[in-house]
Amino acid sequence: GQQLNQSPQSMFIQEGEDVSMNCTSSSIFNTWLWYKQDPGEGPVLLIALYKAGELTSNGRLTAQFGITRKDSFLNISASIPSDVGIYFCATGAQKLVFGQGTRLTINP
């Protein structure tokens, strides 16, 4: 089945640092989505990308849809404590497939 490789699996950073994570696939997709999940809650959609090369921002978050349509990255600038959580990339057509997640921990 379709598999997404999301990296890194975890990150430990200082407050104020920038964060970068990415997702790659062996298949071409038309959509890339980035979600954030807080403990015990459902994933919340952060950014949706629908076009190869597209660069989209949502506050301090920026995501890009790779030109090859096989990858995407998410950047968080000037991290703050509430950025802590698990970030998932997702893509797919009929069924959305998720990466394994990047667990972000921030030291104040």
Binding site for other proteins (CB under 8 A): 30-31, 33, 35, 40-45, 48, 50, 88, 92-101
Residue 8, preceding peptide bond in cis (omega within 30° of 0): yes
- Our CB check for other proteins shows the closer of 26 and 94 to be 94
CB of 78 to other proteins, least distance (A): 27
Residue whose CB is less far from other proteins, 44 or 67:
44
Nearer Cβ to other proteins, position 44 or 78?
Answer: 44
How far lies 57's CA from each of 14, 75, 101, in Å? 22, 9, 20
Give the length of the chain.
108
Least Cβ distance, residue 56 to other proteins (angstroms): 12
Pick the closer one to other proteins by CB: 8 or 16: 8
| Beta carbon of residue 31, minimum distance to other proteins (angstroms, whole number) | 5
> Which 8-state DSSP code applies to residue 81?
G
Residues β-bridged to residue 19: 76
**H or E, element range at 46:** strand 44-49
Closest to 8 in 3D by CA, of 107, 74, 81: 74
What's the min distance (Å) between Cβ of 16 and other proteins? Answer: 27
